Amino acid sequence: MSEGERWRIIPYAVVDGVASLRPSLLRGLFFQMKMERLDRWIFHDGSVGTADDFVALATSAGVHLFAVYDTDKDRQQFAALVFLTNYMGGSALVHHCYFRDYWGAQAREIGRFVFDFLLGMEDGAGQALYPVIMGLTPVNNRLGVRFAEALGGRIAATIPEMFWDEHEGRRVGAVLSYITREIAAESRVRAVAGRKEAA
Q: What is the CATH class of 3-198?
A: alpha beta
Rounded CA-CA distance 183/134 in Å is 12
| CA pseudo-torsion sign 78, 42, 134, 191 | negative
Among left, alpha and beta (phi > 0; psi -120 to 50; other), residue 190 is: alpha
- CA angle, 154 as apex, 149 and 156 as ends, to 5°? 125
Q: Is the pLDDT of residue 198 over 70?
A: no
Mean of the per-residue pLDDT values of the chain? 93
User: What is the Cα–Cα distance from 16 to 135, expressed in whole angstroms?
Assistant: 33
Sequence spans of domains, the chain: 3-198
Please write the tens of the pLDDT for every residue from 123-182. Answer: 999 999 999 999 999 999 999 999 999 999 999 999 999 999 999 999 999 999 999 999
pLDDT at 4: 67
Q: In this predicted structure, what is the pLDDT of residue 34?
A: 96
For residues 99 and 42, give the distance between their C-alpha atoms in angstroms, rounded to a whole number. Answer: 12
User: Is the pLDDT assigned to residue 191 strictly greater than 90?
Assistant: no
pLDDT value of position 90:
84
